[in-house]
Amino acid sequence: MAPLLEALSIGKTYPGGTVANDGANLSVSAGEVHAVVGENGAGKSTLMKILFGIEQPDRGEIRLDGKPVNFANPREAIDQGIGMVFQHFSLVPSFSVYENVVLGSEPRNGIRFDRNEAIARVRELSEKFRLAVDPLPPVGQLPVGQQQRVEILKALYRDAKILILDEPTAVLAPQEVEELFVAVRALVAQGRTVIFIAHKLPEVLEISDRITVMRGGKTVGSVNARDVTEDSLATMMVGREIALRVDRTKGRGDVACEVKALKLTAESGATIAQDLNLKVHAGEILGLVGVEGNGQAELLEAIAGLRPIADGVVYLNGTSLSPLSVLERREQGLASIPEDRIARGLATGATIAENLIATRLADKRFVRNGLLDLKAMKANALSLIERFSIRSGGPGYAVGTLSGGNMQKVVVARELSEQPKLLLVNQPTRGVDLGATQFIWKSLTDARDGGAAVLLSSADLSELLALSDRLVVFYRGKIVAAFVNSDDLTAETLGTYMLGLSSQDPETMRAALQ
Amino acid sequence: MIELLVTVFSATFFVTVIRTTTPLLFATLGGLISDLSGALNVALEGMMLIAALTAVIVSVYAPWYVAVLSGVAAGAMLGALMALFHLRFKADIILVGFAVNILATGGTVFALAQATGGDKGTSINLQSKAVPAVNLSFLEAIPLIGPTLKALLSGHSILSWLGVFMVFAVWYFLFRTPYGLWLRGVGEYPAAPEAAGIPVGKVRAWSLVASGALAGIGGAQLAMFNYIGFTRDMTSGRGFIALGAVLLGARHPVGAMLAALLFGIFEGLAVVMPNLFNWIPGEIIQTIPFVVTVLALILFSYRAQRALKTRAQARA
């Protein structure tokens, strides 16, 4: 069958000199789910942006239905029947679902916006494609999974024949992923074509018909999903065998950090989390499980001192942290790898050397008589760049010029350059490629083996299951379940607790909380 | 005190309040539109001032409606100028706004001196025209309530009636037309309309133009009805009060009207009080509208925060 959409030897070099695509090929047939996989920086996103008209290729050709096409902007791509759902949704929070869906191509009645027509069209689409969502409530009040459906409806409303989904499962809980897959299958059954960007391989194998693997801006190959295994795909992606496996703790020490009856409230007074009781031992990793927004991130912020505590106490080796400032907490041996490396973890305009000492301005090694010791900073940076294999131009380069994985390594290097007693980690490998992920995981377990108590939060359940020694599940600001990690514990089990579908008996929970 | 109450509850005072409210109302609606599109228009003050002078000078040579339209055009052009600097040259909107305000304070005095042949204070020696008042004397014929109706409704500027209509028109535009949806979307989360192919920059630019045009009508009313003729700095902070009124009116046209009316009432009081309380220095009375603005904004933000809290608690 002739391919519906083809990209032929696409080349794209960004103004900064980054070669994003260099001979990328893609051939998608009508009515299939086509996954595009590859490490971060492999050029998947750039290729998709080119297909959707956000970027223009320097070389190569795009063919739609066999005819060469050229999209100057997304509008032209939309007009040709291509729709794209980004990882970051483009929805207006206060607008209702139907307003968001029709925004930009509203049904009209004279000069008037025809609301009833819009509502009817949205209802019809959501029934036809099994994307259940109420058209009336404001989008900002909906859970992430539903917001994503609104985005898909938006593309379908504009009559998209080809739908590009950019890492759609990254923000979803396992059950929501299942629902998304049901919708994707319904789309394909009705003759639409789905291009699916992902890097969680089990999902890719489950949903897609064909898989295109990219590496270093090139297409490595296209395969049928049923002909490959997870391992062979991973090898194709990275170009070498990698083991994403970590050893459990060899033995944990005494309780290092204890959270007692902690309550957190938002600025508005709304309760974010309550009755939080936790113990973390030295030399173990405690995984915080939960759909984003259920209080895990806020707990980490509160312990780090970035958010006020409404009630309760946090002890680190017997000292209450509450009266201490962030800097004083760090002196007690606390280290923190925050969720958003660009906003909170780094100063992107500052150099690598500067970022690496940003938390140690009281240290005599780097600051003497109120002046920075540039030589010591440079030496420190060189040794950490070496130790954490940060790929960069050198200590003097701005952090903002690094790739996501290397930026994260700078954060990890700064926080782990000295052995912490308590390490807070939130989304350590979000948007980080497999190679760097492997390295960061190793650094975290090294810190654990060095005696750190580690609190780890992640949206990626496989990461939590791989790293944690114990896990607690958050649902609506409460701990609803606790587990000692074992090979029997699955993402699906955790998922039922994350969505509040099952509950654990208090005895089991208490035992696993110790 | 009794005298004050008698004054306040008289039809004359009502007419005064409508007069003081009208320029504020237009400026507030202008501020509302640009605020909702995500561009805070701090230049309302300067736009009103320039429009006021333009209208006065044009009215010397042309009929009143041409003068008002030229005031509107002046405001709209300043809006377009702001859009050019903010959207094309990427200058900060607050700085651009203040540049317009500074240009207005100095520029109007200079232009006034040129037009009057040297007078830097007022346009008193220019034969400028006024916006006509709408005469509804026929209402008096209605039995019983006729005279009261006439006293309340007759004699307002034609622009005051336009103002009431504009509140409705702006509301209809914002909440009942696709373009209003675009404008609000652009203001709240520009990435969404952008992804839907809506020209975000263009929407903002037109909002600034509309904002300027509305402020321009306000300026024309001020110099062609509230006062006949131009005085330097005659807007005396009304543009900034309007910005406060936008927030106080909960960013809704009807709220904006009520907020403008509130400030209009206190400006009206500042007009009548000196005659009643001649022992209070006039300067203190003139600060009343501004003090009320500050108090109202404090009260409003306090109440908004409390409402947020109760709502959050109700949900939990």
In this structure, which amino acid lies at residue A37?
A: V
- B66-69 contacts: CB < 8 A, separation 24 or more? B67/B128, B67/B129, B67/B220, B67/B224, B68/B131, B68/B159, B68/B217, B68/B220, B68/B224
pLDDT at residue B177, as a whole number? 95
Candidates B192, B198, B316; nearest CB to A270: B316
What DSSP character marks residue A344?
I
pLDDT band (50, 70, 90) for residue B109: very high
- How far, in Å, CA of A272 to CA of A477, rounded? 6
Candidates A90, A105, A271; nearest CB to B316: A271
Whether A112 and B312 lie within 8 Å, measured CB to CB: no
* Mean pLDDT value across residues A465-477: 91
* Mean pLDDT value across residues A395-422: 88
Write the DSSP string, B180-229. Answer: HHHHHHHHH-THHHHHTT--HHHHHHHHHHHHHHHHHHHHHHIIIIISBS
Q: Which residue has the tokens 């942006």?
A: A49
pLDDT at residue A239, as a whole number? 67
Whether B189 and A100 lie within 8 Å, measured CB to CB: no
CA-based nearest distance B210→chain A, Å: 18
Last residue of a domain, which of A187, A207, A238? Answer: A238
Q: Where are the beta strands (DSSP E) in A317-407?
A: 319-320, 334-337, 367-368, 371-372
Candidates A48, A80, A90: best to mutate against B (most CBs of B within 10 A) is A90
Candidates B176, B308, B313; nearest CB to A113: B176
Chain B: residue nearest A91 by CA?
B192
By CB atoms closer than 10 A (0-12, 13-18, 19+), residue A154 is: buried
Pairing mode, strands A470-475 and B133-134: unpaired
Chain A: residue nearest B308 by CA?
A268
Last residue of a domain, which of A179, A205, A238? Answer: A238
- pLDDT at B161 > cutoff 80: yes
Give percent above pLDDT 90 in chain B.
59
Residues of chain A with C-beta less than 8 angstroms from the C-beta of B303: none
The residue among A54 and A456 whose pLDDT is bigger is A456
Residues of chain B with C-beta less than 8 angstroms from the C-beta of A74: 195, 197
- A121 and A197 share one domain: yes
Whether B177 and A112 lie within 8 Å, measured CB to CB: yes
The length of chain B, given as a count of residues: 316
- A328 and A426 share one domain: yes
- pLDDT at B23 > cutoff 80: yes
Angle of CA points B263, B267, B272, to nearest 5°: 145
For B226-260, what is the HEC assignment?
Answer: HCECCECCCCCCHHHHHHHHHHHCCCCHHHHHHHH
- A35 and A159 share one domain: yes
pLDDT at residue B297, as a whole number? 78
H or E element in which residue A203 lies: helix A201-207
- The total number of structural domains in chain A stands at 3
Any A CB within 8 A of B1 CB: no
Nearest Cα neighbor of B75 from B96, B54, B105 is B54
Candidates B176, B185, B312; nearest CB to A268: B312
Task: Provide the CA B297 distance to its chain's centre, in angstroms.
Answer: 17
Nearest Cα neighbor of B224 from B24, B46, B54, B18 is B54
pLDDT band (50, 70, 90) for residue A245: low
Whether B188 and A92 lie within 8 Å, measured CB to CB: yes
The residue among A315 and A142 whose pLDDT is bigger is A315
- A440 and A394 share one domain: no
* Mean pLDDT value across residues A32-51: 86
Candidates B192, B305, B313; nearest CB to A270: B313
Pairing mode, strands A210-215 and A284-289: unpaired
H or E element in which residue A355 lies: helix A352-356
Whether A103 and B193 lie within 8 Å, measured CB to CB: yes
Last residue of a domain, which of A417, A450, A481? Answer: A417
pLDDT at residue A40, as a whole number? 67
pLDDT band (50, 70, 90) for residue A459: confident
- How far, in Å, CA of A202 to CA of A228, rounded? 11
Angle of CA points A166, A168, A170, to nearest 5°: 110
* Mean pLDDT value across residues B289-298: 82
For B226-236, write each residue's pLDDT tens digit.
999 999 999 98
CA-based nearest distance A347→chain B, Å: 23
- How far, in Å, CA of A491 to CA of A499, rounded? 12
pLDDT at residue B230, as a whole number? 94
Chain A: residue nearest B314 by CA?
A270
What DSSP character marks residue A342?
I
- pLDDT at B52 > cutoff 70: yes
Whether B184 and A268 lie within 8 Å, measured CB to CB: no
Give percent above pLDDT 90 in chain A.
44
What DSSP character marks residue A131?
-
How far is residue A453 from each of residues A317, A318, A342, A441, A456, measured CA to CA in Å?
Answer: 10, 14, 25, 15, 10
Whether A104 and B193 lie within 8 Å, measured CB to CB: yes
Which strands form A311-316's sheet, in the order they lie side by side?
A271-281, A255-265, A311-316, A319-320
pLDDT at residue B163, as a whole number? 96
- pLDDT at B315 > cutoff 60: no
Chain A: residue nearest B196 by CA?
A104
Is the backbone of residue B117 left (phi > 0), alpha (psi -120 to 50) or beta?
left
The residue among B1 and A227 whose pLDDT is bigger is A227
Q: What is the mean pLDDT of chain B?
A: 90
pLDDT at residue B256, as a whole number? 93
For A67-98, what is the HEC assignment?
Answer: EEECCCCHHHHHHCCEEEECCCCCCCCCCEHH
The residue among A299 and A437 whose pLDDT is bigger is A299
Candidates A75, A92, A111; nearest CB to B185: A92
Candidates B37, B172, B189: best to mutate against A (most CBs of A within 10 A) is B189
For residue A54, give the CATH number of its domain: 3.40.50.300
- How far, in Å, CA of A10 to CA of A47, rounded? 8
Candidates A73, A92, A105: best to mutate against B (most CBs of B within 10 A) is A92
- How far, in Å, CA of B92 to CA of B83, rounded? 11
Q: How many helices (H) and strands (E) does chain B have?
A: 14, 2
Question: Which residue ranges make up each domain of chain B?
Answer: 2-315
Per the structure, the complete domain to which residue A208 belongs is given by 3-238
Q: Which of A54-58, A239-243, B115-119, B215-219 has the highest mean pLDDT?
A: B215-219
Give percent above pLDDT 70 in chain B.
97
A–B CB contacts, 8 A cutoff, strictly below: 71
Flag whether the ipTM exceeds 0.85: no
Contact B50, B74 (CB under 8 A): yes
* Chain A residues within 8 Å of chain B (Cβ atoms): 73-75, 78, 86, 88, 90-95, 99-100, 103-106, 108, 111-113, 154, 266, 268-271
How far is residue A301 from each of residues A317, A331, A337, B125, B309, measured CA to CA in Å?
Answer: 19, 17, 10, 68, 22
pLDDT band (50, 70, 90) for residue B35: very high
Any A CB within 8 A of B313 CB: yes
pLDDT at residue A392, as a whole number? 80
Any A CB within 8 A of B195 CB: yes
Which strands form A33-37's sheet, in the order they lie side by side?
A82-85, A162-166, A193-198, A33-37, A210-215, A218-224
Any A CB within 8 A of B184 CB: yes
For B67-80, write each residue's pLDDT tens digit.
999 999 999 999 99
Any A CB within 8 A of B182 CB: yes
- A68 and A120 share one domain: yes
Contact B217, B76 (CB under 8 A): no
How far is residue A200 from each of residues A233, B163, B247, measured CA to CA in Å?
Answer: 11, 59, 47
For B176-194, write each residue's pLDDT tens digit.
999 999 999 999 999 899 8
- How far, in Å, CA of A372 to CA of A514, rounded? 45
* Mean pLDDT value across residues A139-154: 88
* Domain B2-315: CATH architecture, name and number where available: Orthogonal Bundle (1.10)
- A400 and A301 share one domain: no
- A20 and A53 share one domain: yes
Q: In sequence order, which residues have a C-beta less than 8 Å from that of residue A183 and are 6 or more positions away?
A: A129, A130, A131, A149, A152
Any A CB within 8 A of B180 CB: yes
* Mean pLDDT value across residues B79-103: 94
In this structure, which amino acid lies at residue A486?
A: S
- A361 and A259 share one domain: no
Candidates B37, B171, B181: best to mutate against A (most CBs of A within 10 A) is B181
User: Torsion angle of alpha carbons A285, A286, A292, A296, nearest 10°?
Assistant: -120
pLDDT band (50, 70, 90) for residue A411: very high
Contact A57, A8 (CB under 8 A): no
- How far, in Å, CA of B227 to CA of B222, rounded? 6
Contact A350, A337 (CB under 8 A): no
Q: In sequence order, which residues have a C-beta less than 8 Å from that of residue B119 and are 6 or more positions away?
A: B112, B113, B125
- pLDDT at A117 > cutoff 60: yes
- pLDDT at A388 > cutoff 80: yes
Write the DSSP string, A447-471. Answer: HHHTT-EEEEE-S-HHHHHHH-SEE
